[in-house]
Structure 1
């Protein structure tokens, strides 16, 4: 069992990541740093997620007596990266692409602790049923998925009504693969 001996900072404004970390029974504070989320060309989706997560962690410098947790989630459809939509039109386009598709969700996680950085990623394959235009409009109007990679949240209407099957971690699709994170925290304790 992981016994929390050090303060934890979650470097994320995501309410889903905060909810998942609370679900692990951890006490933490939220601290954000501005980070350039661009990445070098030629990286595969897993490497992109880890690269950005690492950049977020490095913004905190060498952390000694505090555990800093950062994460980045990438939705990939046939190697096309679907990030957070800039506006309604982009959200509509992404949801049309995801309709009836199978896509991958990668979350890179970095833990900055004791002057070391530990990174990993998790992968979940998501199978979606078909969405019609009325459903797309309903979803965007009612759930406003502008802060979510791929323009959807697996924990809301989209996941309940349109995700047929997941292969891998559900919490990974929410933005934080808690089982793998918990294992790493146990090793660091």
Structure 2
């Protein structure tokens, strides 16, 4: 029993370390950052995603809006190379993007890497209010108020990314509980 428990905990800890190593810690933009549409801005990070292989050289950077439980896609800003020692990339927010509060998701694998919510200022396009949701849902129950992406692990108020090791530790606890019941 003791050896099985020790082995299970070691495997869970190793998996958490491996997954966490693949995620980027986004350090720009952060809360309080103001980007201007139409000019070069940068995404900065620590870590790398070399284990993604060739895909790490062309990772998509997406601009989102909305709270973490109702994240909405706004635009694809470009790509970044997180395969090695590079720790920043320059991107330009299109001038078609209205002033407002946004976040960025970097499509790293196996976990996405999110930025904080930050501000985009577009002098030629003031803040656009969100449209009211329609009163009658479209066929299939999807309407304008349905989030394109819904995740409780979306943009956060602290720098960094979604922590996959939280999920793995939870899975390890479930496996441990199941094994304990089996061995008793």
TM range (shorter): under 0.3
Length-normalised TM-score, structure 1 = 0.27
Structure with the largest fraction of helix: 1
Length-normalised TM-score, structure 2 = 0.27
Structure showing greater radius of gyration is 2
Higher relative contact order by CA 8 Å / sep ≥ 6: 1 or 2?
2
